[in-house]
């Protein structure tokens, strides 16, 4: 163990704190309480045995399998060089940094959008373009929104999505009817009447929230559509028990944590960093396979609604796509495919991938403008 | 301070190595990582959240810990719809009704009657309350498969796990005299809230390595023949490489070995594996996949 052996207690506490900060900067969710715990644990275990310290800190500082998997590397990086030890927060290890490359072409649009949102959010309502413009914008194809209208469309979409989310949750509450007698409360109320249960108290039906999984195609042509569905996902988070969002092209990346951010412009900015380095083609089947392997067991259940947003131009094998969709269909409640091309008058789903997918879908709908996205409400 | 005093008696475990030995003595083979985490639980009185695939011995940790500390194991099995009434306490309604009827003729006031029927003798203690009420030593509280319970229950647990006290409206707040050692397990069928995770130490149990699994089998089935043991463990390891919906855990390894032993076999062959396929493959698809992959190949 470099540099830790003959330290005084304060010094080692300081380095534990520094390590906590380093780990937090690299994506582990460590709060003040965890840091305090880490210091306490280091005191209990002692800092002599490096391996044991690693195990102990891992138990304290991680809280999920993902963090667990990353921890050992972070620990090694932090304590492998004594130079870092003396000045740990000033630089990051090369391995960790590669994750946040500068954004590339495909994510530039995200960046642009987020800046739009940021600049326009504070003057909301002042320059609204009026009802007719709103109507027009709702129908315009998301891929050719004039640049000037982008900010307006942003605002409208955000408002409408939010309304929709609210409406959906109200619908749920009305359905929430009583079904069983609550013995506990009934008896409590019977005491003043000498033990005769005159007023029956009913137990309400449990509100069962649904889970939404969104699978977004971000390959070249889909980009402008995807961005609006990201917003859609963001707005729906309040209604669903959880919304898990994944981006895919030839690779799959989960962006759920980014969307959890309270501040949407900030979330989109982070997203633009995450989405860096996307390659051209789309392999839906393979991406779904990765999803099924890594997340399927956890996320798919009878109250999961699974939404795929893609144009169906798949360079992979149709059989593979069908098999994966079948697996999802069996476990999820609904499998919805939104295809922006369906908005075109002369489009028919005859690409090989798309026709292989059709038998497994519960809903196949368009998603080329705001109106079609809002129409989704029917299926949720 | 009373709690820590009483604890020092049953705790000769003052380092991780002792704990590993004691665990192994009780038939649980563990690695240093898990042992360190459990050691911290006994030292710092914080809950430990254990995640991992099905059948890798998550629940067993709590059982062995209780055996090691020679204390009570209180188990709460979570399920969807688990509510406070079945996890913490419930009033004995039948008895209450009877009591009301009996007291009808007496001239007690309503308040007196109410006080009587909400006394301790009418209280049914469920696992969580039991763990708080322990009056001789800290028990081990196992909250099994917490991912199956719903969010509301999870939120309730937060309060319990940070203060170790429970409020029963009719009786008041009950505080733990001896803080229980808490072990939570999860199969990751649902993501747990960050708030809960933050209150716990965390450990992920992976499938064991070949050597470790051999040790486990030997610890649990001491009479097994070496050749059969090697074969079974190797076979299960091969099966885990396949892309099954429910990969076999250590439990399945033990089942498989035990099945072979009780059939009086000394080595695994294709016929035997086919007959006892239910030990490792738990669904029709998995059976098909296993057969397609070639059992003979996996045995060699």
Give the Cα-Cα-Cα angle B20, B25, B31 (nearest 5 degrees): 30
Q: Decide if A187 touches B, using CB distance below 8 A.
A: yes
Q: How confident is the model at residue B191 (pLDDT cuts 50, 70, 90)?
A: confident
A320 and A380 assigned to the same domain: yes
So what's the pLDDT on residue A199? 72
A201 CB burial (10 A radius; 0-12, 13-18, 19+): middle
Is A51 an 8 Å CB contact of chain B? Answer: yes
A237 lies in some domain:
yes
Mean pLDDT of chain B: 87
Specify whether A224 is located in the same domain as A117: yes
What domain range includes position A184? 179-206
Between chains, do B194 and A63 touch, taking CB under 8 Å as contact?
A: yes
Distance from CA of A220 to the nearest CA of B (A): 32
A278 and A158 co-located in one domain: yes
B229-255 as b/e, with b when 16 or more CB fall inside 10 Å?
bbbbbbbbbbbbeeebebbbbbebbbb
Which of B81, B100, B110 is nearest residue A206 as measured by Cβ atoms?
Answer: B81
Are B237 and B221 in contact, with CB atoms under 8 Å apart? Answer: no
pLDDT at A196: 73
Note whether A59 contacts B48, CB cutoff 8 Å.
yes
Q: What mean pLDDT do residues B257-276 have?
A: 89
Whether residues A77 and A116 share a domain: the answer is no
Q: Is B81 on the interface with A (CB under 8 A)?
A: yes
pLDDT band, residue B145 (cuts 50/70/90): very high
Cβ within 8 Å, pair A187-B93? yes
Rounded to the nearest angstrom, the minimum Cα separation between A133 and chain B is 42
Verify that A340 and A214 share a domain, yes or no: yes
Task: Convert the pLDDT of each residue in B37-50 to its tens digit.
Answer: 999 999 888 999 99
CA A336/CA A225 separation, integer angstroms: 16
CA atoms of B254 and B229, how far apart (whole Å)? 10
Give whichever of A148-152, A235-239, B160-164, B211-215 has the largest mean pLDDT: B211-215
Question: Once rounded to an integer, what is the mean pLDDT over residues B228-241?
Answer: 92
Question: Looking at residue A166, which CATH number applies to its domain?
Answer: 3.40.50.410
Closest CA–CA distance from residue B71 to any residue of chain A (Å)? 23
Q: Which residues in B lie closer than 8 A to residue A195 (C-beta atoms)?
A: 97, 100-101, 104
A372, two tokens: 């079609």
Tell me which of A81, A100, A119 is where a domain ends: A100
User: Is the Cβ pair A44, B43 closer than 8 Å?
Assistant: yes
**pLDDT at residue B232 in the model:** 92
Q: Is A298 on the interface with B (CB under 8 A)?
A: yes
- From B14's Cα to the closest Cα of chain A, the distance in A is 10
Distance from CA of B227 to the nearest CA of A (A): 34
- Does residue A218 contact residue A226 with C-beta atoms inside 8 Å? yes
Task: Tell me the chain A residues in contact with residue B202 when contact means C-beta distances shorter than 8 Å.
Answer: 58-60, 62-64, 67-68
- pLDDT tens, N- to C-terminus, chain A (380 residues): 444 444 456 778 888 899 998 888 888 888 888 899 999 888 888 877 888 889 999 999 998 888 888 898 889 888 875 444 444 444 444 444 433 343 343 334 344 344 444 333 333 333 334 455 666 666 666 666 666 666 666 677 667 666 666 666 555 444 444 556 777 777 777 777 776 777 777 765 555 567 888 888 877 666 667 667 777 777 666 566 678 888 887 778 888 877 776 666 677 666 666 654 454 667 788 888 888 888 887 788 777 889 888 887 777 788 888 888 888 888 888 888 888 777 777 777 777 778 888 888 888 888 777 777 777 777 76
Pick B104's closest partner by Cβ from A44, A187, A194: A194
Q: How far apart are CA B283 and CA A129, in angstroms?
A: 59
Q: Is the residue at A1 inside a domain?
A: no
Residues in chain A: 380
Which residues 76-115 of chain A have a CB within 8 Å of chain B? none
Element (H, E) at B153: helix B151-163
* Amino acid B77: pLDDT: 94
Domain boundary among the residues A58, A84, A100 is at A100
Q: Is B154's Cβ below 8 Å from some Cβ in A?
A: no
Residue A252 lies in a domain: yes
**A62 and A159 inside one domain:** no
Looking at the fold, whether A296 and A379 belong to one and the same domain comes out as yes
pLDDT bracket for residue B4 (50, 70, 90): very low
Same-domain check for residues A60 and A84: yes
Strand runs (DSSP E) across chain A, as ranges? Answer: 178-181, 202-204, 211-217, 242-248, 252-254, 304-309, 334-339, 363-366
pLDDT of residue A8: 56
- In this predicted structure, the answer to whether residue B274 has a pLDDT above a threshold of 80 is yes
Identify whether residues A245 and A378 lie together within a single domain: yes
What is d(CA A267, CA A262) in angstroms, rounded to the nearest whole number?
Answer: 8
Give the distance from CA A114 to its chain's centroid. Answer: 17
Answer yes or no: is A355 within a domain: yes
Is the CB of residue B15 less than 8 Å away from at least one CB of chain A? no
Strands A334-339 and A304-309: parallel
Inform me whether the C-beta atom of residue A362 falls under 8 Å from chain B C-beta atoms: no
Of A268-277, B264-273, B282-291, minimum mean pLDDT range:
A268-277
Residues within 8 A of B (CB atoms), A 195-254 only: 195, 206, 241-242
Answer whether residue A3 is part of any domain: no
B177 neighbors A37 (Cβ within 8 angstroms): no
**ipTM confidence score:** 0.76
Please indicate whether, in this complex, the C-beta atoms of A64 and B97 are within 8 angstroms of each other: no
Q: List the single residue in B with minimal CA-CA distance to A40.
A: B44
A180 touches chain B (CB under 8 A): no
CB A284 within 8 A of CB A321: yes
Assigned domain for A2 exists: no
Answer whether A175 touches B (CB < 8 Å): no
* Distance separating alpha carbons of residues B47 and B41, to the nearest angstrom: 6
Q: Could you tell me if A129 and A56 lie in one domain? A: no
* DSSP designation for B30: -
Radius of gyration of chain B (CA): 24
Helix B93-103 / helix A183-190 crossing angle, nearest 10 deg: 10
For residue B186, give the 3-state DSSP assignment.
strand
- Nearest CA distance, B104 vs chain A (angstrom): 7
Q: Name which residue leads in pLDDT, A82 or B127.
A: B127
Count of domains for chain A: 3
Tell me whether residues B190 and A298 touch, CB distance under 8 A.
yes
Both A79 and A136 in one domain: the answer is: no
Structural domain includes residue A194: yes
- Residue A95 shares a structural domain with residue A66: yes
HSE of A365, CA atoms in CB hemisphere, 13 A: 18
Are the beta carbons of A187 and B104 separated by less than 8 Å? no
Q: How far apart are CA A160 and CA B20, in angstroms?
A: 59
CB contact under 8 A, B189 and A298: yes
Q: Taking CB atoms and an 8 Å limit, are B198 and A33 in contact across chains?
A: yes
Residue A372 Cα, gap to closest chain B Cα (Å): 31
CA distance A203 to chain B (A): 12
Contacts 24+ apart (CB under 8 A), A30-34: A30/A61, A31/B198, A33/B198, A34/A60, A34/A61, A34/B198
Give backbone dihedrals phi and psi of A180, rounded to 5 degrees, phi first: -120, 150
Any domain includes A90: yes
- Domain final position from A67, A100, A133: A100
**Mutant choice from B40, B96, B123, B171 vs A, greatest count of A C-beta within 10 A:** B40
Provide the shortest C-alpha distance from residue A90 to chain B (in Å): 27
B148 close contact with A: CB closer than 8 A: no
- Cβ of A23 under 8 Å from any chain B Cβ? no
């Amino acid at each position: 163990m470099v540099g830790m052996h003959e330290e005084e207690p304060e010094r080692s506490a300081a380095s534990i704190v520094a390590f906590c900060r380093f780990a937090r900067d690299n994506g582990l969710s460590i709060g003040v309480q965890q840091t305090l715990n880490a210091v306490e644990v280091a005191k209990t275990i002692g800092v002599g045995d490096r391996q044991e310290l690693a195990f102990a800190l891992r138990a304290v500082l991680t809280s999920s399998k993902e963090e667990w998997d990353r921890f050992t590397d972070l620990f090694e990086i932090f304590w492998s060089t004594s130079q870092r030890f003396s000045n740990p927060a000033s630089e990051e290890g090369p391995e960790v940094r590669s994750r946040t490359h500068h954004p590339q072409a495909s994510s530039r649009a995200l960046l642009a959008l987020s800046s739009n949102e940021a600049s326009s959010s504070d003057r909301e309502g002042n320059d609204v373009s009026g009802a007719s413009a709103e109507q027009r914008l709702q129908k315009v194809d998301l891929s050719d929104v004039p640049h000037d209208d982008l900010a307006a469309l942003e605002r409208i979409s955000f408002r409408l999505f939010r309304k929709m989310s609210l409406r959906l949750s109200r619908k749920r509450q009305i359905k929430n009817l009583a079904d069983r007698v609550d013995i506990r409360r009934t008896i409590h109320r019977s005491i003043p009447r000498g033990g005769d249960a005159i007023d029956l108290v009913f137990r309400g039906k449990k509100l069962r929230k649904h889970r939404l999984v969104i699978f977004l195609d971000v390959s070249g042509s889909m980009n402008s559509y995807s961005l609006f569905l990201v917003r859609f996902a963001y707005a729906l988070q309040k209604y669903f028990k959880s919304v898990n969002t994944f981006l895919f092209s030839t690779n799959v990346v989960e962006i759920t944590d980014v969307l959890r951010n309270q501040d949407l412009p900030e979330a989109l900015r982070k997203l633009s960093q995450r989405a860096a380095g996307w390659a051209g083609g789309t392999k839906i089947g393979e991406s779904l396979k990765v999803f099924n392997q890594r997340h399927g067991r956890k996320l798919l259940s009878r109250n999961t609604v699974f939404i795929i947003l893609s144009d169906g131009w798949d360079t992979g094998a149709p059989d593979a796509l069908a098999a994966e969709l079948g697996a999802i269909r069996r476990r999820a409640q609904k499998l919805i495919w939104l295809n922006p091309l369906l908005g075109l008058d002369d489009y028919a789903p005859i690409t090989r991938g798309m026709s292989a997918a059709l038998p497994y879908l519960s809903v196949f709908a368009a998603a080329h403008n705001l109106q079609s996205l809002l129409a989704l409400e029917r299926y949720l | 301070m009373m709690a820590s005093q009483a604890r020092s008696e049953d705790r000769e475990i003052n380092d991780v190595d002792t704990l590993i030995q004691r665990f192994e003595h009780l038939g649980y083979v563990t690695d240093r990582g898990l042992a360190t985490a459990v050691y911290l639980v006994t030292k710092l009185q914080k809950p430990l959240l254990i995640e991992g695939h099905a059948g890798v011995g998550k629940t067993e940790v709590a059982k062995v810990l209780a055996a090691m500390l020679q204390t009570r194991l209180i188990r709460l099995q979570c399920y969807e719809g688990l509510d406070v009434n079945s996890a913490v306490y419930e009033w004995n309604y039948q008895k209450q009704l009877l009591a009301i009827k009996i007291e009808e003729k007496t001239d007690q006031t309503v308040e007196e009657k109410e006080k009587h029927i909400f006394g301790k003798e009418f209280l049914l203690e469920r696992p969580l309350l039991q763990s708080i009420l322990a009056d001789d030593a800290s028990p081990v509280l196992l909250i099994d498969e917490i991912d199956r319970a719903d969010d509301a229950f999870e939120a309730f647990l937060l309060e319990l796990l940070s203060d170790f006290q429970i409020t029963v409206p009719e009786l008041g707040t009950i505080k733990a005299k001896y803080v229980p050692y808490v072990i939570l397990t999860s199969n990751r069928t649902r993501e747990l809230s960050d708030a809960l995770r933050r209150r716990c130490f965390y450990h992920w149990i992976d499938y064991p390595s070949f050597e470790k699994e051999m040790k486990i089998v030997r610890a649990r089935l001491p009479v097994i023949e070496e050749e059969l043991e090697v074969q079974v463990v190797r076979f299960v390891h091969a099966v885990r490489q396949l892309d099954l919906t429910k990969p076999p855990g250590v439990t399945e390894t033990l089942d498989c070995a035990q099945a072979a032993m009780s059939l009086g076999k000394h080595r695994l062959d294709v016929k035997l594996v086919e007959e006892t396929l239910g030990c490792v493959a738990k669904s029709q698809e998995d059976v098909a996949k296993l057969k397609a992959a070639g059992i003979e190949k996996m045995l060699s």
